[in-house]
Amino acid sequence: MYGAEMRVSVLGSGSWGTTVASLTAHRNDTVVWSRRQDTADEINERHVNTAHLDGYDLHPNLSASSDFEKICARADVLVMGVPSDALRATAERAATFVPSGIPIVSLTKGLEARTHLRMSQVIAEAMPGHPVGALTGPNLAKEIMAGCAAASVVAIDDDEIGSALQNVFRTPLFRVYRHHDVAGCELGGALKNVVALATGIAEGLSVGDNTRSMVITRGHAELTRLGVALGGEAETFAGLTGMGDLIATCVSNQSRNRHVGEQLGRGRPLDEIIAEMSSVAEGVKVAPVVAELAERHGVSMPVCTTVHRVVAGEIPAAQAYAGLMRSHAGHESEPAM
């Protein structure tokens, strides 16, 4: 099962799912599932995905199919690249066809709204009997497709499987580390999206680099506190899946979450912003979950809870920043903004 080459099946042909499939195709027999037959045909015939990665050539060995059952049944490794609100239903559907015991890797950086579970926990409930992990880190799809060097982390609690998965995903320009702290790695990826919304709002309001730096740093302190309260290890949030992912998502103009925040900062309605996007900004979905978890665990998160109020339409973006700046500043290790 853990030989040099494995059959990899990737569920989801969005920008990141397709990028990961193109990476694994360097070393493995890889097929990506698309709900749309025209997207599958385009990948097979022209080696492109114009809906999500226009202008970038995919690996020539990558193939695609809209046959969900066939793709699941062939897998030695199953990679889940669907949005958080579709993950459970997709996993439940896949459970019928996937071979027993194969590893499943989540690409989704979010939390389930109803249960507040991490994505690997959702998969484990829907597909019992499989080792489940996550591939996460500071990974912007178009930069990777352009050939820029990047690093990511396979988070799984079985070191042997983790080592095998490193070989599945790595390429000469895509370095893959492994980590045992699945909770910390996934939470860093999910929670940073809310901070990216805050940073985007700062950009939209043209408040300056000093303010953005303050928001990123204080936001990192918040996600670390909540992440530890939810079972992650503090050290994890200083690594690739915490600080690394946070920086990439907050500073890049390729970041969907930063884009949404920026448009909110310019006074545009959230529904209008979302309607014009072809990809999902998970921070919008996870913001209310973060606010609920912070309250439940007694963790002070002024940046993230204020972002939630903006996303929920309770306050405008400009008022949010004015409120944050009025908050008390004590010792830097204290929770206040």
Q: Give tens-digit pLDDT for 114-141.
A: 999 999 999 999 999 999 999 999 999 9
Q: Token pair 């385009």 is at which residue?
A: 42
Q: How far, in Å, CA of 218 to CA of 22, rounded?
A: 36
Report pLDDT for 1: 46
Q: Give tens-digit pLDDT for 86-95.
A: 999 999 999 9
- Model pTM above 0.85: yes
Lowest-pLDDT choice from 10-24, 36-50, 311-325:
311-325
* DSSP structural state of residue 130: S
Lowest-pLDDT choice from 55-59, 75-79, 236-240, 276-280:
276-280
Mean pLDDT of 51-70: 97
Amino acid at 143: E
Mean pLDDT of 163-167: 96
Per the model's pLDDT, the better-predicted residue between 315 and 326 turns out to be 315
Which residues, in sequence order, are bridge partners of residue 32?
Answer: 10, 64
Half-sphere exposure of 58 (CA within 13 A, CB side): 33
Q: How far, in Å, CA of 164 to CA of 4, rounded?
A: 9
Lowest-pLDDT choice from 97-106, 308-317, 319-328:
319-328
Q: Quick one: pLDDT band at residue 36, thresholds 50, 70, 90?
A: very high
Smallest Cα–Cα separation from 2: which of 103, 127, 105, 146? 103
Q: Quick one: pLDDT band at residue 166, thresholds 50, 70, 90?
A: very high
Report pLDDT for 323: 63
Q: How far, in Å, CA of 286 to CA of 266, rounded?
A: 22
Q: How far, in Å, CA of 162 to CA of 183, rounded?
A: 15
- Which of 70, 109, 142, 192 is the catalytic position? 192
In a 3-state reduction of DSSP, which class is residue 77?
strand
Which residues, in sequence order, are bridge partners of residue 7?
Answer: 29
Q: Give tens-digit pLDDT for 186-233.
A: 999 999 999 999 999 999 999 888 888 999 999 999 999 999 999 999
Mean pLDDT of 45-67: 97
285 included as an active-site residue: no
Mean pLDDT of the chain: 94
Structural domains in the chain, sorted by start: 7-180 (3.40.50.720), 187-325 (1.10.1040.10)
Helix (H) / strand (E) containing 151:
strand 150-155
